[in-house]
Structure 1
Amino acid sequence: MLEHFLVMMIAILLGTKLAGHLCNRIGVPSVIGELLVGIILGPALLNIVQPTEIVQLFAQIGVILLMFLAGLESDLFQLKKYLKPSVLVAILGILFPMVLGSLVGHLFALPVVSSIFLGIVFSATSVSISVQVLREYNRLDSDEGSVILGAAVVDDIVVVLIVSVFSSIINMGSQLQFDFAFFWNLLGLKFLFFLVIYLFAKFLLQPVMRLASRVVAIESQAAMALVLCFAFAILSEKMGMSDVIGAFFIGLMMSTHPSQPKVQEKLDTIGYAFFIPIFFVSIGLNVEFSAFKEHFGMIVLLTLTGILSKLVGGYLGSRMSHLSKSASTIVGSGMVSRGEMALIIVQIGQAHHLVTGSVYSAIVVAIILTTLASPLLIKYSIEKLGKN
């Protein structure tokens, strides 16, 4: 058991670092190579690495760390400045995919409920892939980077609410009651989470980090940062949201703290040396080439509509907020990636028998193809912006 796990870790770490090197040499975002490593090493080809429970666990830690680091590197005041365009980009980036995704489901004769669910799946955005590419190009705290981060967080919250309502309707059917308990679970807990994180940042963050700095132990501040990262990831999960939202916001709250440079340096090493590469590889592990044979048309159409709907929604939202054409293209490109958020939602659909068998595999493949396309679109858009 241990030997097999260590072999998988060796393959992942060597594979991702070599792929990153090759991608940097040919001018392609390194995350593309890491995603392809998952496809090559996974069940689709070599079957050296399997999506076991422990690999998925380490991958989840990886994405939590990635989003915590994204918050840590962000400019809080910049994000506040671009709150309005972020909300507009998120809303349009949800509406377009929901409509087009549902139409694709209808076109391929899926039941009405399954078609609507398909639209919900492709309305999700995974900013973790975009964060990595923006970081490589030093644009994480740029105007467009701030809009992408803000819009992705709003997107996550809204889509989680939509999924919550949809799941409740499916589970309870005609017995669904729109009472206080329903609205508390739907909205009250989310509001309470943001109130708790605001109060913690205002009154407790400074004393907690000051106490950590006085502890005579190796890397006490970095360890405390990890404690806060994981604690707020758990809290956001308990309150009905994605754990990455909690990790991102506590990282954002810590971005103005004096310990930020030191904490970021230490957690960069922990994250990028081990956990984050496992996360990117884990996405590629879900590819099954058999789905191409049976549902090639659906995969192609879902991928194209998935890319265009987010690209157009993000672009229009940015232009309506007076961003330049080039910056708006970067924002649209940054919203294309579906990644782990869409994979989590489609698994919820599988549990409710909304998508089954080869249709499930086809949707997963389309999610991964949109995720692969996003870094390339961001790269092209950034290079185009640099020439203007």
Structure 2
Amino acid sequence: MSYDNLLIVLAVAAGVPFLLAAVPRLPVPGPVLEIVAGVVLGPAVLNVVAADTVVQSLSIIGLGFLLFLAGLEIDIRQLRGPQARLVGVGLVATVALAAIVGLFLYAAGLVESPLLIGTALVATSLGLLVPILKDAGAIDRPVGQVTIGGASAGEISAVVLLSLFFSEHSSGPGSRLLLLLSLIGLAVLIVLASMQAGRSMWLSRAVEMLADTSAQVRVRLSMFLVVGLSAMALHLGFEAILGAFVAGAVLRLIDPDAERSHPQFHIKLEGLGYGFLIPVFFVTSGIQFDLGALFADAGTVSLVPMFLAALLLVRGLPALAYRAAGLSRAEVMASGLLQATSLPVIVAAATIGLKLDAIRPENAAALVAAGLLSVVVFPLMALRLLSRSDHPRRRRRGSYGHPG
């Protein structure tokens, strides 16, 4: 076992934040730079780093942790209340448009699996969207609430669809649905058991006493939950990312006010994820990116703006429903652009699709390239629209859009 390739990957991960700090006006999120650096240093260009067993293993764990943190952002309270109906209408419109676009691209002979493409188009990068709205001072405004609600619904739907219909373990859709319900039932039992355990005075005192010592018991219990539900998802025939995502949602349900009651807990989890595992996933995605397939012919290159327009249509157009929440025209457009910002689930869908021969390498490369462009272009346009109605005090952003 060699650490040489991992050393280069971690050097990229450590260098990207400094580049962003040195060039604060650089309108590129950290994950995009990490993927681009992986492409340049990988076999496609300079060939100085490869995705060996160590790097690939950590990359898979990093993807799971990224979905775990995305699940942790899911606040069920955002999917209830007066905005719930609007979020539901937007989700129905999104799924319908995704099906239409997927079938159209399939009929035109441009894609192999309309279901895979449609599923990839449903998601929103919730983990990138939340800090952007926080930095814009819009997180507590109606535009922020409905946008996060819509993004949460899209993220949940995409991860469930991806795990339900695309897995290396084959079984009928009926049995897979029953297995999915079993996983959800297990998650509910974990939530109920944890809430019951939380009523124990002795256990609560023990957790508080051990939380910030070398035991780091909250972090250890969280890791046990992530790996346990990921393993259970694999045993039930799904992708591990579904279990990781559910683990994040379960943890949020168990402790919905963790950011206020013990804020260091989420900071520790983000430190483990954004400081180590998640950058490895993004850099490795760049190393494995098939740049040659993307530029093999002009037809493949033309798919990039086509997929980008499809993202804007499928995720952006349904934001028109949010006008009923009292949003201005600029806020509706900003919400649509933010919902059309997607990368992690697209990368996951492309990776899974390649393993299952559900997508050609050139189409996978074009789809990921469209996702990269979406996280660069759409948030910038959305922030300018949001600034028309409000002029918040901005904070310096971090590598992943978090305040620095």
Question: For the superposition of Structure 1 and Structure 2, which TM-score range results when normalised by the shorter chain?
Answer: 0.7 to 0.9
Q: Deviations over 1:36-93 (max 9, x none)?
A: 3333333333333433443344344445555655666776645544443333333322
- Answering whether residue 224 of structure 2 is matched by residue 224 of structure 1, we say no
Report which of the two has the higher share of helix.
Answer: 1
d(CA) in 1 for partners of 2:247, 2:75: 17
- Answering whether residue 196 of structure 2 is matched by residue 195 of structure 1, we say no
Instruction: Give, as a single letter, the amino acid of the residue that structure 1 aligns with 2:296.
Output: K
Structure 1: gaps spanning 5 or more residues = none
After TM superposition, the structure 1 stretch with the greater mean CA deviation from structure 2, 119-128 or 376-385, is 119-128
d(CA) in 2 for partners of 1:319, 1:236: 38
Percent of aligned positions that are identical: 22
What RMSD, in angstroms, separates the aligned Cα atoms of the two structures?
3.6
- Aligned counterpart in structure 2 of residue 269 of structure 1, from 262, 265, 271: 271
Matches within 5 A, 1:1-388: 1-26=1-26, 28-66=28-66, 77-78=77-78, 80-81=80-81, 82-108=83-109, 114-134=113-133, 136-137=135-136, 139=138, 143-163=142-162, 166=165, 171=170, 176=172, 178=174, 181-186=175-180, 188-205=181-198, 207=200, 210-215=205-210, 218-220=213-215, 222-232=216-226, 234-235=228-229, 238-239=232-233, 240=238, 241-251=242-252, 253-257=254-258, 259-291=261-293, 292-294=295-297, 295-313=300-318, 315-355=319-359, 359-388=360-389
Q: Tell me: CA distance 1:51–1:235, structure 2 relative to 1, closer, same or farther (3 Å).
A: same
Q: Please state whether the residue corresponding to 2:373 is helix, strand or coil.
A: helix
Instruction: Give, as a single letter, the amino acid of the residue that structure 1 aligns with 2:380.
Output: K
After TM superposition, the structure 1 stretch with the greater mean CA deviation from structure 2, 288-297 or 193-202, is 193-202
Q: Tell me: CA distance 1:65–1:158, structure 2 relative to 1, closer, same or farther (3 Å).
A: closer
Contact 2:323–2:329 under 8 Å retained in 1 = yes
d(CA) in 1 for partners of 2:220, 2:145: 24
| Structure 1 residue 110: Cα displacement | 5.1
d(CA) in 2 for partners of 1:216, 1:190: 28
Instruction: Give, as a single letter, the amino acid of the residue that structure 2 aligns with 1:265.
Output: I
Q: Tell me: CA distance 1:277–1:141, structure 2 relative to 1, closer, same or farther (3 Å).
A: farther
How many residue pairs get matched? 374
d(CA) in 1 for partners of 2:266, 2:32: 24
Q: Tell me: CA distance 1:43–1:304, structure 2 relative to 1, closer, same or farther (3 Å).
A: farther
Q: Deviations over 1:99-144 (max 9, x none)?
A: 1132123213656xx3444333333444233345445546556544
Contact 2:337–2:379 under 8 Å retained in 1 = yes
| Structure 1 residue 250: Cα displacement | 0.9
Instruction: Give, as a single letter, the amino acid of the residue that structure 1 aligns with 2:313.
Output: L
Q: Tell me: CA distance 1:209–1:224, structure 2 relative to 1, closer, same or farther (3 Å).
A: farther
Contact 1:129–1:371 under 8 Å retained in 2 = no
d(CA) in 1 for partners of 2:92, 2:164: 17
TM-score (norm 2): 0.76
| Structure 1 residue 25: Cα displacement | 3.7
d(CA) in 2 for partners of 1:60, 1:339: 16
d(CA) in 1 for partners of 2:74, 2:137: 11
Q: Please state whether the residue corresponding to 1:2 is helix, strand or coil.
A: coil
Q: Deviations over 1:243-290 (max 9, x none)?
A: 223224414542414642121333343333323332333343343222
Contact 2:35–2:282 under 8 Å retained in 1 = yes
Q: Tell me: CA distance 1:195–1:216, structure 2 relative to 1, closer, same or farther (3 Å).
A: closer
Q: Tell me: CA distance 1:72–1:268, structure 2 relative to 1, closer, same or farther (3 Å).
A: same
Contact 2:10–2:280 under 8 Å retained in 1 = no
Q: Please state whether the residue corresponding to 2:45 is helix, strand or coil.
A: coil
| Structure 1 residue 192: Cα displacement | 0.7
d(CA) in 1 for partners of 2:248, 2:286: 23
Contact 2:70–2:245 under 8 Å retained in 1 = no
d(CA) in 2 for partners of 1:158, 1:323: 25
Give the structure 1 partner of residue 397 of structure 2.
none
TM-score (norm 1): 0.78
Contact 1:86–1:150 under 8 Å retained in 2 = yes
d(CA) in 2 for partners of 1:350, 1:216: 41
| Structure 1 residue 323: Cα displacement | 3.6
d(CA) in 2 for partners of 1:90, 1:122: 12
